[in-house]
Amino acid sequence: MLNPSAPRPRIVGIGGTTKAGSSTEKALIACLAAAERLGADVQVIPGTRLAGLPLYSPEEQARTPEQQQFVETVREADGLLLATPAYHAGMSGLLKNAIDLLEDLRDARRPYLDGRAVGCIVTAYGWQGAGTTLTSVRTIVHALRGWPTPLGVTLNTAIPLFDAAGACTDARVQTQFEMLAAQVVGFARRFAA
């Protein structure tokens, strides 16, 4: 049962693919919906928005309005969900470019991803790429002082997992989305307390 007086953590989901209707996008939306059911305020930054970000360049100090908005959205988040397809055992360049931009948070009150739980979702056409990519994403979250959740969700997209409307058709996978959302939301609430 939800406590109506509990703080509503702000959970931001960041997608790592521009392919509309992809399994990665559907998984991210399903997990955010679970977080919302747990009382979180949720926001999605789809891969299509990340596609408009210029390549991160550490020597370039000027930021576009899109880059500034992305960094500000993450700064205000209490928790994150990162979703990426596995590309050759790594996250998408789209997501990595956006994450590199979080260097702008180095001098923030909460530097980088400090004090934030980060749930990781990886999709791949087969199991091997998903596992190695999940390890890579979690390592990057650690490097940014974030707290990867104990559960990381890997999905083999060679197996149909969603219907045409985007609903998860596999009860075990849906349970993983619910667990991942609960870990991110729960940590955000405990940290805020």
- Tell me if 40 is assigned to some domain: yes
- Cβ 8 vs Cβ 75: under 8 Å: no
Over residues 53-66, mean pLDDT: 94
Work out whether the CA dihedral 184, 139, 121, 101 comes out positive or negative. positive
Instruction: Count the domains in the chain.
Output: 1
- Tell me if 4 is assigned to some domain: no
- Tell me if 5 is assigned to some domain: no
Could you read off the pLDDT of 127-175 as tens digits, one per residue? 888 999 999 999 999 999 999 999 999 999 999 999 989 999 999 999 9
Categorize the per-residue pLDDT at 10 as very low, low, confident or very high, splitting at 50, 70 and 90: very high
- Tell me if 35 is assigned to some domain: yes
In the three-class reduction of DSSP (H, G, I as helix; E, B as strand; rest coil), residue 160 is classed as coil
Output the domain CATH number for residue 93: 3.40.50.360
- Tell me if 90 is assigned to some domain: yes
The two tokens of residue 46 are: 């789809």
pTM of the model: 0.95
Burial (CB < 10 A; 0-12, 13-18, 19+), residue 48, is middle
- Tell me if 2 is assigned to some domain: no
- Tell me if 100 is assigned to some domain: yes
Domain extent, residue 73, equals 10-192
- Tell me if 3 is assigned to some domain: no
pLDDT at 24 over 80: yes
